[in-house]
């Protein structure tokens, strides 16, 4: 997840999201590229920040949408890393089975003593693709080597048109 940098170190970093090979027509297709503008230690901190508009907050909240990735605190004074301090996700939420959503509240990677950061992209430097157009030529996996943005951009390959 996002535990390899502290919250303070995330600002101005770039994050790239790729499909798996099945969705990317046999290769890892670039889905989004985002420059981080803000990082938060907890859902509580993000929820009560002024970074998200009310419209965005409602579109991303997990108790209203099955793919929501933002959890609403129950109260103003809570333990920010206790899942019981948040409204449970909607019944058909993608992480609700076996209480997997608890890891969204308090995830710590192996050997890391800090929670994963919650990232917000700079809207002027966030890009989203809905068709596979650019591909990463090597195999991708969890724990992927972290490339500099220039190195990533030069390694991307355009989809071949026939």
What does pTM read for this prediction? 0.83
Q: Which residues pair with 40 in a beta bridge?
A: 118
- Distance CA(153)–CA(26), nearest Å, equals 20
Helix (H, G, I), strand (E, B) or coil at 15: strand
The winner for highest mean pLDDT among 72-76, 80-84, 107-111 is 80-84
Question: Tens digit of pLDDT for each residue in 5-54?
Answer: 889 999 999 999 888 877 777 888 899 999 999 999 999 999 999 999 99
| Tokens 């308090």 belong to residue | 106
**Distance in Å from the first CA to the final CA of the chain:** 37
Q: Which of 60, 80, 77 is nearest to 68 (CA)?
A: 60
Q: Dmax of the chain from CA atoms? A: 58
Q: pLDDT of 81-99, one tens digit each? A: 999 999 999 999 988 888 8
């Amino acid at each position: 997840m996002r535990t390899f940098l502290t919250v303070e170190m995330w600002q101005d970093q770039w994050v790239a999201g790729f499909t798996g090979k099945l969705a990317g027509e046999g290769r890892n297709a670039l889905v989004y590229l985002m420059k981080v503008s803000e990082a938060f230690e907890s859902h509580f901190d993000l929820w009560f920040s002024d970074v998200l508009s009310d419209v965005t907050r409602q579109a991303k909240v997990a108790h209203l949408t099955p793919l929501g990735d933002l959890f609403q605190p129950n109260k103003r004074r809570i333990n920010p890393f206790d899942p019981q301090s948040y409204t449970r996700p909607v019944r058909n939420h993608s992480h609700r089975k076996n209480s997997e959503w608890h890891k969204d509240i308090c995830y710590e990677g192996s050997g890391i003593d800090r929670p994963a950061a919650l990232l917000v992209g700079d809207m002027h430097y966030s890009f989203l693709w809905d068709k596979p157009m650019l591909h990463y030529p090597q195999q991708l996996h969890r724990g992927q080597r972290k490339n500099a943005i220039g190195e990533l951009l030069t390694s991307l390959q355009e989809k071949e048109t026939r």
